[in-house]
Chains A and B, each alone.
Chain A
Amino acid sequence: MRAPDNPVFAKGDVLLAVENVSLGFGGVKALTDVSFDIRKSEIRAIIGPNGAGKTSMLNCINGFYYPTEGRITFKGVKRPKMRPYEAARGGIARTFQNVALFKSMSTLDNIMAGRSIKMHSNFFWQLFRHGPAMKEEVEHRRFVEEIIDFLEIQHIRKTPVGRLPYGLQKRVELGRALAMEPELLLLDEPMAGMNLEEKEDMSRFILEVNQQYGTTIALIEHDMGVVMDLSDRVVVLEYGRKIADGTPSEVKGDQRVIDAYLGVAH
C-alpha cells in the first residue's frame, strides 16, 4: 500500500472508516450496508450474536475478503483491492478466533516470524548468517524478548506452541501480532475459552498495549463484562447489519441490542 501523504494521526482522528460495506457469499449476505469508524488510539469493540458478521468484518478490513459494495478508508486513503500481506505491511495486524499459530515453531520463533516484514538483510547475508543478517537477528530478538517479558511467557520461550494450553496459545498469538508493531490491531475473540484469571490477564495486556503504545484496537468479544470494561466505543452487528453504535453505556441501554441478545423475534 502507498503511504498517505504522511499525515500524523493524533489520538481521536479517524484511522479507519468503513462506509456502506456489504459482503455476500453467493446467496448468503454476511454484511449489509455497514458503516462505522475506528479512531486513533481507541479500543473499539465489535459485538453481536453468533453469525452476526463480526469475523467477516475483520476479514474485510485486513484484505481476506473484498467487500462486494462500499469502501474502506485506512489512514485517509481509500484502499484499493488489496491482499492481506499488503494490509499487514500497511500496519494492520490480527489474531484469529481459532488460534492460527505456526504450531511446529517455538513461541520465540512464532513471534520472530511476526517481525519478518521488519527484517531486511538480504539473501546473501542470510546464507552466511553473518554481518547484517546476524546483527538484525539479534536486534529483533531483543525486541521479541521485550514482548515475551511483557506477556509473561518467558517460561515457554522455546516450547513448540502446538504443545501449549489454549490460553497460552492465545497469548503467543497476541505477541506475534504485537511484533508487527501494528497501527491497528484486530483481535477476534482473544478471550474465548479462557478461565477468569486468564481473561483478567488478557484484559490487562490489551489495555496496556493500548495505553503504552497508543495502538488502536478493534476487539470482537462475547463477554459483555470485558467489553464494557475495555472499550471506548462499541458497534453492534446483528444478521450482518449494524444495529447500534456508541459508548458501552449507550449501547447497553439500547432496546434493539437488548432484543438481539435476548433473542426477541422481529
Chain B
Amino acid sequence: MLYREAGQFKTNYVADSAIFPLRQDRIGLGLIIIAAYALAFLGNSFLLQAVMIPFLVFSLASIGLNILTGYTGLLSLGTGAFMGVGAYACYKLMTAFPEVNVIVWIFVSGFFSAAIGALFGLPSLRIKGFYLAVATLAAQFFLQWCFIRIPWLVNYNVSGALDAPLRTLFGTPIMGPNATPQTRYLVVLTIVILLTWLASNLVHGRIGRMWIAIRDMDLAAELMGIRPLQTKLLAFAVSSYYCGVAGALLVFLWYGGAEYDVFNINQSFFILFMVIIGGLGSLIGSFFGAALIFILPIVLGIVLPAIMSPFGISVGADVIEHLRFMIVGALIIFFLIVEPHGLARLWQIGKQKLLVWPFPY
C-alpha cells in the first residue's frame, strides 16, 4: 500500500488534531503493536529476556528523561536515581502490602519518584543548563547514598539487595523466580504501551505545548501567562514518574533482583545517550535510542564473531565490549554533529520522502 496523504481530507478539527492524522501511520502502529504481542509467543526466552524486556524498560526510562530534557529543555543527570526511587518504593510497597496486586504497586511506585523528582526540580526555577545538571547530579549522589545507607529500604536484608518476590496476576506468576520471560514480557509490554500512549496524549496537548514553550523561549512563555515553576515542576514530576516505573520494571521484571549499583551515574548517562541519539523531544525517538544503544551491541556480539571466524580471527567477549563503547561513542559524536535531532528526525525525513516518492519533492 502506498504511503500517501492524498484523499485524506480532514473535515473537522478533531480529526485534524489527531496524533496520527495519516491512516497509513495508524495502520502501521497497529501492526507494530500486534507484532510485539505476537513476539511473546514466537520469540525464544533469550530474545524476550535479554533483548525485548530491557529494550522496553530502557525505552520507558528514555521517554521519562525525554519529557524533561527533550520537551522541556531541562538537562538531568539524576535519571538513574529517580529510577531507583521507583524500584525501592515498589519493593517497600509490595512487601508491606502483599495482598494488593503488584501491578498496582508498580504504578503507584512512580508517584514516589515523581514527588522526589519534583523536589529536586525546585532549583530549576533559578538555574538552567549546566548548573541545573549539576544540581540533578547532587540528587543522583544523595539518593544513591540513601539506597546504600538506609537498610530499612531493603527490609534490613543482610545482602542489602532488592529481590523480586513471587507475585501473580490471575493466578499466573508474573514476578519472581517462577515467572517465565513470556509473562514478564507481556506485563512489561502492556505497561509500556499504556504509558507511552498517555505520554503521547500529554505532549500533544496544552501541557506539551507549555513544556516546549518553556524549552524554546522561556521568557516569551512566561509572557503567555505560563507559570515557569509549575510547568517545570510538572515536567520533573511526570518525567520522574516514568523513570520510577521503569526502575521498578528493571529490577523486578527484568533482573529479578538488584543492588543499589544499577542506579548509579552510569545508568543516568546511558539513558541520556539514548535520548540524544534517539532524538530530543520525540517519543518514537526514545524507542529508537533504546534500540540502538541497547540492541545494537547485542547484534554486534552475535554478528561480528560470525563474520570474523571464516578469516580465522576469533572475537572475544572483551573485544565486543570495547567495540560496543567505541561504537556508541562514535554514534553520539556523529549525532551531535550531523543530526542533533537524532534518529527521530531521520525517520521523519524518510517518511516525508516516502510521501512524495518516486518524485524528489
Contacts and interface: CB of A to CB of B under 8 A. Distances in A.
B226 A101 contact: no
Contacts of B234: 123
Interface string A80-117: 00011101110001101000111111000100111011
Interface in B184-226: 198, 201-202, 204-207, 209-210, 212-213, 215-217, 219-226
Contacts of A109: 209, 212
A128 B209 contact: no
Contact of B212 (A104, A117, A138): A104
A29 interface: no
A142 B17 CA distance: 11
A119 interface: yes
Interface string A109-144: 100111011010101001111000110111001100
B121 interface: no
B225 A133 contact: no
B281 interface: yes
A93 B13 contact: no
A101 B13 contact: no
Interface string B134-155: 0000000000000000000000
Interface range on chain B (Cβ under 8 Å from partner): 20 to 34
Contact of B216 (A102, A121, A142): A102
A106 B311 CA distance: 54
B228 interface: yes
A116 B206 contact: yes
A116 B216 contact: no
Given A100-B219, A102-B213, A141-B13, A117 B225 contact: yes
Nearest to B198: A127
Contact of B223 (A85, A121, A128): A85
A180 B226 CA distance: 11
A105 B223 contact: no
A215 interface: no
A219 to B, nearest CB: 17
B205 A105 contact: no
A126 B206 CA distance: 8
A105 B214 CA distance: 12
Interface string A33-69: 0000000000000000000000000000010100000
B351 interface: no
Given A85-B222, A102-B216, A126-B202, A113 B209 contact: yes
A121 B225 contact: no
Given A112-B209, A141-B13, A85 B220 contact: no
B228 A85 contact: yes
A129 B223 contact: no
B227 A85 contact: yes
Given A104-B216, A113-B210, A113-B213, A137 B205 contact: yes
Contacts of B215: 104
Interface string A139-182: 00110010000000000000000000000000000001000100
B225 A105 contact: no
B219 A84 contact: yes
A123 to B, nearest CB: 7
A104 B217 CA distance: 10
A94 B224 CA distance: 9
Output the residue of A100, A116, A137, A180 with the most chain B CB within 10 A.
Answer: A116
Nearest to A104: B216
A187 to B, nearest CB: 13
Contacts of B222: 83-85, 88
Nearest to A134: B14
Interface in B263-314: 281
Contacts of B227: 85
Contacts of B198: 127-128
A129 B226 contact: no
A129 B224 CA distance: 22
Given A84-B219, A134-B14, A123 B207 contact: yes
B201 A128 contact: yes
Contact of A85 (B13, B206, B226): B226
Nearest to A87: B223
A36 B13 CA distance: 45
Contacts of B204: 129
Interface of A: 62, 64, 83-85, 87-89, 93-94, 96, 100-105, 109, 112-114, 116-117, 119, 121, 123, 126-129, 133-134, 136-138, 141-142, 145, 176, 180
12 contacts: A62-B223, A83-B222, A87-B223, A102-B220, A103-B216, A104-B281, A105-B213, A113-B221, A114-B224, A117-B226, A126-B202, A142-B13
Given A88-B222, A101-B216, 7 more contacts: A101-B220, A103-B216, A105-B212, A109-B212, A112-B206, A113-B213, A117-B224
The 10 A-B pairs with the shortest beta carbon distances in the complex, nearest first, are A88-B225, A117-B225, A129-B201, A102-B216, A100-B220, A141-B13, A84-B222, A113-B209, A138-B13, A119-B206
Interface of B: 12-14, 16-17, 19, 198, 201-202, 204-207, 209-210, 212-213, 215-217, 219-228, 234, 281
